[in-house]
Chain A
């Protein structure tokens, strides 16, 4: 315990250096902007910033990206409440009651409780993150390549299970991501794979290009089909909430925090699921559930706290095991790799300034966002009033600049375009994109660990199941794949029974 406090003090000494506070503030602002803008979410937003941060020291770079991550969560809730347009999937649940509150002239209290709830949830769960990550990392240090491989398989399979309705499509998306990752020079043999003789592809698909193409370009293309006039922005009358509002939502915040954090730790469950679970929980616990969906403040407080707590919980597998739990943390992990910092158990001993600086900076960015966001709501509303026909082209221009800046090559822009078309196709046909980006980030390491494990054992594939820990993790992965099949089966059975009862 004392150790942790000492480390935390060290972390604050990093995070509170003036330039790092400045980076956190910039990140928080840019992140909120990204969260507010349509067509550009946390994944592509963070990816676009990667080229700009490579020259920074790793600790500062991660502080900036973490602040961006946080900011997008706040920004997403702002648009949910004011416009009924969730900036991110994780703030969909906020629209149910948040927009209703705004319609009733209570946009101010809704925004305030979202900010306060997020702040409380964020701060509490960062504390929990410290308690959980260190032991987990200590335990994971002993992992060999076989365990790491199995762990990544578990991460990928659970993501596929949880992100989409249709789990075969989610699996296909994962495999597609892994396949994209195999493009380029093979690290072990030095052989070109899937480059079709194009030297531009030798380096493989850049993470920035992948994230921006798959997420941002495809989103804008899809949205350009149905451009309408700007939505009606609700008026904000009072910016703060009453004591009554706060008392009403106190327990919702506490429950949302605990629930969100635990859901966040589970590989892949993530903020979106946490926010929906919290919304349902609040509705179920309420004495008067009929008020939900009609502007109940608890319907904003719960999900908003849950999605922030989950965002923090999500960092645990990334920081301690090197397995990102969501597409956003996958991109952050990609950024760490670009900065030559290997996430995982060794991170804690090799780069304590990065880890603890990052953790401390979560407190700092939480505080900055709380102070920054309420007064700036007016500015963000102005941005939201800009018609989409103007916003979307500019967003695309920013994407082009970002990808170009990362590679300084025109070829990379074509790759972005191709991936944009691919992402568009996937969106159109209900393939979740998250697993693909996770596959793209993890692909190289998945293959490397697999081959390392095989080389150690002279190509004996049994290595993955004869090592007990690796076998146990793989079994879990298998279970997570069979889980949805079982659920579908029971659901179908219940439906059949129900139908049979109806006809009787």
Chain B
């Protein structure tokens, strides 16, 4: 299974490299593409070493965590840092095994506010205000 994935990856990268532009800017990517092709072939011929760990591509937890992160990243600008971070933290803390809703909420709120105070107030990093904009 792993080898198939390698093959696809290397094939697409080769196509990208070859389609690359005129001679000047393209020669270097082509060189890289060729290297990757050769290495991919080497891996195909001799996939030795440790066989790919037999855990499948991703654990369900990692997928859920990744999805939560994706959602967080998608809404951080429109909704704003404070709300989205609080929701993200509370959700993921519960997801990762916290049983008490109250504790998850309290920790998330405390962490959100301290991060905000540290970065926005102390280090003057501008974080997205979002929906709370008028009150901040």
Contact = CB atoms under 8 A, between A and B. Distances in A.
A63 B81 CA distance: 31
B62 A222 contact: yes
Interface string A43-70: 0000000011000000000000000000
Contact of A429 (B20, B24, B52, B97): B52
A401 B72 CA distance: 12
Q: A176, A401, A408: which has the most chain B beta carbons within 10 Å?
A: A401
Nearest to A182: B29
Contact of A420 (B36, B46, B66, B126): B66
Interface residues of A, number: 57
B21 A217 contact: no
Contacts of B46: 168
Contacts of A175: 32, 35-36, 39
A166 interface: yes
Say whether chain A's binding surface is mostly helix, strand, loop, or mixed: helix
Nearest to A429: B52
A394 B111 contact: yes
A387 B81 CA distance: 24
A126 to B, nearest CB: 30
Contacts of B123: 52
B18 interface: no
B59 interface: yes
B79 to A, nearest CB: 11
B41 to A, nearest CB: 10
Interface in A414-463: 414, 416-417, 420-421, 424-425, 428-430, 447, 450-451
Nearest to A416: B73
Given A225-B61, A404-B127, A429-B2, A396 B97 contact: no
A400 B57 contact: no
A191 B65 contact: no
A224 B98 contact: no
Interface in A363-416: 387-390, 392-394, 396-398, 400-401, 404-405, 408, 410, 413-414, 416
B70 interface: yes
A225 B95 CA distance: 11
Contacts of B29: 179, 182, 193-194
A178 B32 contact: yes
B64 to A, nearest CB: 8
Q: B24, B32, B55, B61: which has the most chain A beta carbons within 10 Å?
A: B32
A95 B5 CA distance: 36
B65 A224 contact: yes
B33 to A, nearest CB: 8
Contact of A217 (B50, B69, B81): B69
A405 B88 contact: no
Q: A398, A400, A430: which has the most chain B beta carbons within 10 Å?
A: A400
Q: Give the top 8 A-B pairs by smallest Cβ distance, nearest first.
A: A389-B96, A225-B59, A166-B49, A393-B92, A186-B25, A405-B125, A413-B73, A224-B65
13 contacts: A52-B123, A168-B43, A172-B39, A193-B21, A227-B61, A227-B96, A390-B98, A393-B92, A393-B93, A396-B69, A424-B66, A428-B55, A430-B53
